[in-house]
Amino acid sequence: MTIPTETLALLEQQAIELPSWAFGNSGTRFKVFGQAGVPRDPFEKISDAAQVHKYTGLAPSVALHIPWDLVDSYSDLKKHAEDNGVALGTVNSNTFQDDAYMLGSVTHSDPAVRQKAIDHHFECIDVMNETGSRDLKIWLADGTNYPGQDDIRARQDRLADSLAKIYERIGDDQRLVLEYKFFEPAFYHTDVPDWGTSYAHTVALGDRAFVCLDTGHHAPGTNIEFIVAQLLRLGKLGSFDFNSRFYADDDLIVGAADPFQLFRILYEVIRGGGYGVDSGVAFMLDQCHNIEKKIPGQIRSVLNVQEMTARALLVDTDALAKAQSAGDVLGANGILMDAFYTDVRGDLASWRESRGLSAEPMAAYAASGYQEKIEADRVGGTQAGWGA
């Protein structure tokens, strides 16, 4: 067996939260593509997400997006999730689809617009209280398109003030997680463009504020694993949004663009104490499946994360430390590459079978008939997607 027993035991601790919105229709800025069988409400989203956990054993919770996942009763939604073998997780706010936010939300110059955005986050916290969610995740589309359009410094002041009001409302056992994004939809500057800006604001907020790192939200060539190491060193890495991109941010299947980058990130996660049930770092996906089927796309993503986690756990850290201390440049690099090139797929298939799961989750889902059933049953109504 390639993977030692103790390493396989560590894989038992892996949990990857799924995004509810990944199961709705999505697309590009030019078109949203519809598919047969797409959920029409949050209950059907949860049912589909549960299929991923059923076949992989890796995805025990589902993140919500408000207002896309508004329901009359969150106790009913929570019970529905539990009946399907999963739990409700992170609550994500949305301040990027209301006309009032065209020039900004929590950074807007108009106090009334800022208060509207703050009140929306209060609503999200209410949802958290009903679902038992720990994390409020905030991603902001706020920014400007042209130099001189607004006062960059003043926007930072307004951002700090708005975040402080939101932070004050979260419970003692809850966290605020602030995501950053290099660009888009603002073209000149975004108000939270990088990990340093997010870090500065979360430090100012307090011990229950953390940074969310989306792996697709960086300039080309950025050393993301360095950011991971630094945030872990500083105790401020709260969560990941795992995905891939080739050029701009497209929220593609994680590991699709650069599996080696995913390996390097996960090695730094493990090395820095960010892996495991007690780490406080949440593994999450943030993806929009534009042309591929939703459920298989999520299955592939969580399997990719698991595979690269297994490879990262195989790094001989003692040998690596000795090589590094000795200044053995090629030897140290070789130790890392040996782990990356290890084929762990057979061992992971055996690991799944030992837990009563199919050795091949993609094939098992395809053979289950679930996809055909939802395509036949979910006729009529309004499909979920961007904005719903």
For residue range 113-147, list pLDDT tens digits in order. 999 999 999 999 999 999 999 999 999 999 999 99
Q: Is residue 347 part of a domain?
A: no
Q: Is residue 55 part of a domain?
A: yes
Q: Is residue 365 part of a domain?
A: no
Q: Look at residue 26 in the predicted model and tell me its pLDDT.
A: 86
The residue ranges of the chain whose pLDDT is under 70 are 1, 386-388
Domain that holds residue 186: 13-313
pTM for the model stands at 0.96
Q: Look at residue 308 in the predicted model and tell me its pLDDT.
A: 98
Given the DSSP bridges, would you call strands 209-214 and 175-179 parallel, antiparallel or unpaired?
parallel
**Residue 132: which CATH number?**
3.20.20.150
Q: What are phi and psi of 127, to 5 degrees?
A: -65, -45
| Long-range interactions of 121-124: CB distance < 8 A, separation 24+ | 121/93, 121/166, 121/169, 122/166, 122/169, 123/66, 124/66, 124/91, 124/92, 124/93
Contact criterion met (CB below 8 Å) for 144 and 188 = yes
Q: Look at residue 174 in the predicted model and tell me its pLDDT.
A: 98
Q: Look at residue 323 in the predicted model and tell me its pLDDT.
A: 98
Q: Is residue 348 part of a domain?
A: no
How many domains would you assign to the chain? 1
d(CA 375, CA 34): 12
Q: Is residue 336 part of a domain?
A: no
How long, in residues, is the chain? 388
Given the DSSP bridges, would you call strands 209-214 and 237-242 parallel, antiparallel or unpaired?
parallel
Q: Look at residue 119 in the predicted model and tell me its pLDDT.
A: 98
Q: What are phi and psi of 268, to 5 degrees?
A: -70, -35
Q: Is residue 121 part of a domain?
A: yes
Q: Is residue 57 part of a domain?
A: yes
Amino acid in the structure at residue 341: Y
Q: Is residue 356 part of a domain?
A: no
CA atoms within 13 Å, Cβ hemisphere of 195:
26
